[in-house]
Amino acid sequence: MRENLRILHLEDDQNDADLIHFALETPEWDCEIRTATTGEDFRQAMLNTVFDLVISDSAVPGFDGMAALRLVRERDHSIPFIFVSGDRRPEQVDRLKAAGATDYVPKSRLTDLVPTVRRAMEAPLAKVEQNGILLSPVVDRLVSVIQQLSLARTLDTVMAIVRRAARDLTGADGATFVLREGDKCFYADEDAISPLWKGSRFPMSACISGWAMLNRQSAVIEDIYADARIPADAYRPTFVKSLVMVPIRTESPIGAIGNYWATRHLATEEEVRILQTLADSTSIAIENVTMYANLDEAVRNRTAELEAANRDLESFSYSVSHDLRAPLRAIEGFGQLLFTEHAHRLDGSALNYLHRILGSTKRMGQLIEDLLNLASFGRVALHRSTIDLSALAREIFDELYASSPRTQVKLLIEGKMLADADPGLMRIALQNLLSNAWKYTSKRVEARIEFGRATDANGEWVYHVRDNGAGFDMQYADRLFGVFQRLHADSEFPGTGVGLATVQRIFHRHGGRIWAESAVERGATFYFTLGQTA
């Protein structure tokens, strides 16, 4: 059986890459080569795939081979790393090897590549020093494997890591990864010198992996033909003479890992312990995969729910705009005709009733408009630009003067307050805040309204709209930005109770916030931020 090699190749020259891949063709192995042309490609490949070998050029634009080497060694000390680049002087080659490279092959001598890869794959692991502690090759390899398993996000990745590591850690001739499927053992993956049972399913009671799971303990068998637990006929076509099988998770096993030898071999206690440690780490990795899969599914379901809710909201908005406004327009229209053409026939009470109907329809129309605006502001895209809030405030006050003329109002607007914000949404927000200040100071003999800003302790701009109007009791401040929450009687200060909820949503969309300070009959100050520093 030809060995399968998963190779990561850092190279940005397509011609060089093709020549190197051609040089790797040999009857000894089948190569699965992933070519990375940039540093980001290389990082993503290392994150998402388990490789048996890394080949690297000296550099690609923005990322050099030494950085690639450091990245690989941080993840796994055992992966052979071979530089294949232009000719180098001997001292430079020594420097690469001292940094952790396994070997070096010049591009001018690609005939040396296969023997170099063969030596790298067969060479024993060197002892590695970490934090002043000299680790054995097996312990260092086990640490690297556990680190890789902690990053795995799919079951295929977990199996790819484990199948190779199970052989490396014990020097076995083959390894299988078995999953429990009800009362069956599914031989999901393998790495061996010749085929075993990959893809097959056997009853739990008829295979040694089932025995290990049912009994929640390892099975160590020196001679498979001398152990009653082994179905000998299933093993005769294979190379297997000895084996070890350990359960994945001893408490309620979910699978098993098997190691096989082509010659008689009695696994040592250390080999069994290492293999069981690998299986325990595999159990945690599979649980993590399941957790992330469930999380992804929950996110997808939640996204679908939100999309459905948005469609319902759009449908509701359409219904409000068309189905509710139509009868309202009819009431208002015919009421206005009744007043225009027949007012002279109505007595005082009837005229009073008619005025109330017309006033209520106008208020209802405004309420519908406010609700539609509130619903849409959460979905509308922001289009930021630099705007002069001072000039915008003056425009709004000019409109307020025109619609509701007053003489005794003192306006104080700080000059040149520039902000990066959506012009349309900021006009709506300031229109609400400034018209509220205009409304709640309407009963003052000398009204005063201010619009300015200052920086807080964090250097963030804090804007304020301050008035000396009716104010409100701070114990009800938590109701201030709720829909339909009003702190004054409609007969005193009319409104729909939607404006401040709209303002809050607009500032939140900009990454800011809004709050208020007030006292009854002593005015109010509304503060807001846009998430911008001075």
Express each pLDDT in 442-475 by its tens digit. 888 888 999 999 998 888 999 999 999 888 888 8
Amino acid 487: pLDDT: 54
Q: What is the pLDDT of residue 222?
A: 93
Question: Quick one: angle between helices 348-377 and 423-440, nearest 10?
Answer: 140
Q: Residue 367: its pLDDT value, please?
A: 67
Predicted pLDDT at 376 = 62
Q: What integer is the mean pLDDT of 112-140?
A: 64
Query: In the predicted model, what is the mean pLDDT of residues 117-146?
Result: 62
Q: What is the pLDDT of residue 130?
A: 45
Contact 452, 464 (CB under 8 A): yes
* DSSP state for residue 533 in the 8-state scheme: B
Q: Among the listed ranges 249-258, 385-394, 483-492, which one has the minimum average pLDDT value?
A: 483-492
**Mean of the pLDDT values across residues 77-83?**
84
Q: How much is the pLDDT for 320?
A: 61
What pLDDT was estimated at residue 128?
43
pLDDT of residue 530: 92
What is the phi/psi pair of residue 60, to 5°? -125, 165
Say whether pLDDT at 303 is over 60: yes
91 pLDDT band (50/70/90 cuts)? low
3-state helix, strand, coil in the chain (%, to 5): 50, 20, 30
Is the model more confident about 354 or about 480? 354
Give the model's confidence band at 484: pLDDT under 50 very low, under 70 low, under 90 confident, else very high: low
Residue range 497-516: average pLDDT?
84
Predicted local distance difference test score (pLDDT) of residue 135? 41
Alpha helices, H only, 126-218:
137-151, 155-170, 208-215
Q: At 133, is the pLDDT very low, low, confident or very high (cuts 50, 70, 90)?
A: very low
Banded model confidence at residue 127, pLDDT cuts 50, 70, 90? very low
User: Each residue of 225-255: pLDDT tens digit?
Assistant: 999 899 888 899 999 999 999 999 888 899 9
Q: Which of 42-51, 134-143, 345-354, 410-419 has the highest mean pLDDT?
A: 410-419
Q: Which two tokens stand for residue 264?
A: 């008689």
Average pLDDT over residues 185-211: 92
Is the confidence at residue 132, as pLDDT, over 60? no
Task: For the chain, give the mean pLDDT.
Answer: 83
More confident residue, 419 or 335: 419
Q: Is the pLDDT of residue 34 over 80?
A: yes
How confident is the model over 411-441, as pLDDT tens digits? 899 988 999 998 888 888 898 899 888 888 8
401 contacts 464 by C-beta, under 8 angstroms: no
Length of the chain: 534
Phi, then psi, of 183 in degrees rounded to 5:
-100, 20
- Which element (helix H / strand E) includes 397? helix 389-403
- Taking only the tens place, the pLDDT of each residue in 167-180 is 888 888 999 999 99
Which of 141-145, 286-290, 351-355 has the least mean pLDDT?
Answer: 141-145
From CA 415, how far away is CA 418, in angstroms rounded?
9
Q: What is the mean pLDDT of residues 145-157?
A: 79
d(CA 82, CA 97): 9
Are 312 and 319 in contact by the 8 Å Cβ rule? The answer is no
